[in-house]
Structure 1
Amino acid sequence: MQLNDPNFNKSAFIKKLESIIYLMFVLPLAFFGYAFLEREASGELRSVFYEDPDIMFHAVMAAGIGYVLLRTLATWKKDALKVLKQVPELDLKMIKLKKSIIYRNLMWSFGAAIGAFGLYEKGDMVYALVFSLFLILITANRPSPKYFSKFFGLKGEEKKWMEE
């Protein structure tokens, strides 16, 4: 196992990265809560998507959601691993991946904000599902020792170091 800095504190690094990610999600979460409570109080939550739809609004929202998902799910991991292939040190790989993880989660927070805005504007509960999708993506892919171990495909000594 190769490390650039033998004193690299992976736990502090992961906690700081996780904090940044959850801080980015605070605004969309607060906006979603406000939108949901506002629509619920006025009785304007709609559980059906197809009654009196605003096709243009929904098409723009779907395009935004599709862009975020394609940009972050289709090629993100492959591109990140291709860039990191030349770096043998595990701690440097984690440090170099930081900006990419922040970018991906910023995009997911933006996707969650799209869901919250759709709920606020139209009151359609389908946007609550969109918000929930991004919430699941953010929490399921949060940085953790196990996440990095699986992401890099670590085995043996490297896996043990990462997950201890």
Structure 2
Amino acid sequence: MELSDPQFNKSTFIKQLESVVYLFLVLPLLAFGWVFLEKDGNGSLRSVVFENPDLMFHGVMFIGVGYIIVRTTATWTRDVRRGTDKVKELDVKLKMLKKPIIYRNVLWALGAGIGAYGLYEKGDMIYALVFTLFLILITANRPSGRYFSKLLKLKGDEKKWMEA
């Protein structure tokens, strides 16, 4: 296992990255909570998806959601691995992953914001599902030793060090 900086503290790095990731979720989470409580309080939540739909609005919202999902899941992992394959030092690889992970989570927070906005505008519960989808993506892919071990396909000593 190679490190360019023997003083590199992976636990601190992971905790800081995790804090940044969850920081981006705060605003959509607050917005969704407020909108849901307001809509529920005045009885304007609708559980029927296409009962008097605004197809243009729903279409634009789902194009945005589709773009975010495709952009962050279809090729992201392959591109990240390809970008870090040439580097041997594990700490350098982790530092290289910081910006792509933040970018991906900003897009997922934007997707959660789309869910909150759709619920605000139309009151359709389908947007609660959109919000939940992005919430699951953010929490299931949070930075951790095990996550980085799987992402980088680490084996042997590198995997033990990362997951310790």
- TM category, shorter: over 0.9
Distance 2:154 2:79 in 1: 18
Structure 2 residue 9 is matched with structure 1 residue 9: yes
Distance 1:75 1:34 in 2: 34
Q: Which letter maps to 1:66?
A: G
TM-score, normalised to structure 1's length? 0.99
Which deviations, in whole Å up to 9, do the C-alpha atoms of 1:34-93 show, x marking residues without a partner?
110110011000001010000000000000000000000001111111111111111000
What does 1:79-158 correspond to in 2, within 5 Å? 79-158=79-158
Q: Residue 46 of structure 2 aligns with which residue?
A: 46
Amino-acid identity (%): 63
Q: Secondary structure at the match of 2:143?
A: coil
Q: Which letter maps to 1:123?
A: G
- The count of aligned residue pairs is 164
Q: CA RMSD in A?
A: 0.5
Q: CA deviation at 1:104?
A: 0.2
**Bigger mean CA offset, 114-123 vs 81-90:** 81-90
Distance 1:128 1:38 in 2: 14
Q: Which letter maps to 1:157?
A: D
Gaps of 5+ in 2: none
Q: CA deviation at 1:9?
A: 0.2
TM-score, normalised to structure 2's length? 0.99
TM superposition outliers: structure 1 runs of 4+ over 4 Å: none
Q: Secondary structure at the match of 1:98?
A: helix
